Amino acid sequence: MDSCEPQLIDDCLIQIFTFLTEEDLINVSSVCKDWHEAAETPWLWRRMCLQRWGFCNLAVLGSEQANHSWKRYFLRRSHLEKNMTKGRTGGYTCKSLRGHTGRVVGFVYLNANSSQLPDFWSHNATVCSASSDGTVRAWNIQNGEPLWCSPVQSPLMKILSDEQHEVVITADSQGLIKTWQGQTGQELASFSTSSSHCTLLQYNIDNDWFLTVGTGQGSVCTLAGPSLTKKSSIIVYDTFSVNILLASPDKKWITAGTTENNDFCPKVFYTESLTSPSEDEETLCQSVPVIGCRAAVFIPTQPARLAVLHHNDLERKNDITIFDIIMKKTKYKSEIIVQQVESFPFTLNASSSNILLAAKDSNCIVLAAGQQLWVYSLKGVMLASFKEHTLPISSICVDSFRVVTASKDLSLRVLTWKNDRDYGLTLESRYHLLGGSHTMSRGFTHVACDYSSIVASVEGNDGKDVLKAYSFNA
């Protein structure tokens, strides 16, 4: 036989195997030695990984502890996603995190398993929770163990985290902002706003850390670094709370708004005017040309595309309007341009006070109000609608893989994204997770997710809230 013939056969087999599914590829590997070697070719499994996910965490493939192959990566990640899609007993573990003696006002991931950089071999997620009992608590959600607890202070109202610097930020009922070292719980700094209501927005620009705070007096205060050095303070509204604060994906713009008055417009600030103000130049600010803002969100895959849900007084209804924010510079001045891209009506029950708005990608937004969930394209086409809860939805979490809704009916509904050949991107309802007994609790109040876990808070009838952590197995 020609000595080149075996190599030719291997190349042909590998090319043929590119048409197989992962199940077929595993099956053909047991036919004979040659087929096994061809089916184990790393290039085949790398190709399947990148076709399915687009981006894979190469760091976990060749770490010092183990040399994980593309095949193992594919099988482990697809097994995890199968468990997250099915939600069957045995596909996940559930831990109850107890320790707070008051209401959980919020919680955040400190170390999250990112969908962009998933690690299935050594990841342990940390969640930090804030409570009306005046403490911050950190938890390892995989084993349900408490890690640290802060000293007691005034009842806490808000909590944020900066995973990049492993810092936790809280605001209490007296308007005291504090930063905490995420791994140890050590207090790093504090800053008083003298406001009983604070809205927090943390963001990083290059290597610089910033925190913008909306107050109950209608001002926006910007602080720098975990040491909370004051950079600027600007009045946005005279007497109404700034309770909407958003940073654009490119971090060039900050949107501030209020839901307390239907006569006010949201405002867009040039971030540099807040973080590096100049005495010689006025703050660059522009109003968004809508009034009665009820909710807003930046589209995550666009530099600065803003979706606003607002009142339309002329027709006595609600509209969703999409804007692009750009800077127009001339020789003598700079000007913010807020340009309308799309606008469409959104029918909303008048009794729906808690409106939740989130964005999936450049093509769609997710809304929840009352017991219902909707998915709309930015053109105003309703892609999906669900009414599976028996009581109002209290919180939603939206990521690239799924949408999770939490409700006062003590259930979490899990829906996954899919691309339909006829209808394009849409959601598919999968399963629900229960949080316990109604005799002991009043339902879920908050929910958050990373790539391989879901955490939600349950409001206890005795005033002591509990966190439920669902960790899916890879």
Helix (H) or strand (E) holding 48, with range, is helix 42-53
Q: Is the pLDDT of residue 4 over 60?
A: no
Question: What tokens were used for 459?
Answer: 């409001």
**Structural domains of the chain in order of their starting residue, each with its CATH number:** 5-84 (1.20.1280)
Q: At what angle do helices 42-53 and 70-86 cross, to 10 degrees?
A: 40
Q: Is the pLDDT of residue 66 over 70?
A: no
Question: What tokens were used for 32?
Answer: 């004979």
pLDDT in tens, 225-280: 989 999 999 999 988 999 999 999 999 999 999 998 888 999 999 999 999 988 77
CA distance 288 to 331: 25
- For 190, 359, 377, the CA distances from 342, given in Å and listed in that order, are 42, 15, 10
DSSP H helical ranges for 386-440? none
Greater confidence (199 vs 59) lies with 199
Q: Is the pLDDT of residue 97 over 60?
A: yes
pLDDT in tens, 134-168: 999 999 998 899 999 999 999 999 999 998 889 99
CB neighbour class for 233 (10 Å; exposed up to 12, middle 13-18, buried from 19): middle
User: Dihedral of CA 83/87/91/95: which sign?
Assistant: positive
Provide the b/e sequence for 358-396 (b: ≥16 CB within 10 Å). bbbeeebbbbbbbbbbbbbebeeeebbebebbeebbbbb
> Would you place residue 464 in the very low, low, confident or very high pLDDT band (cuts 50, 70, 90)?
very high
CA distance 195 to 216: 6
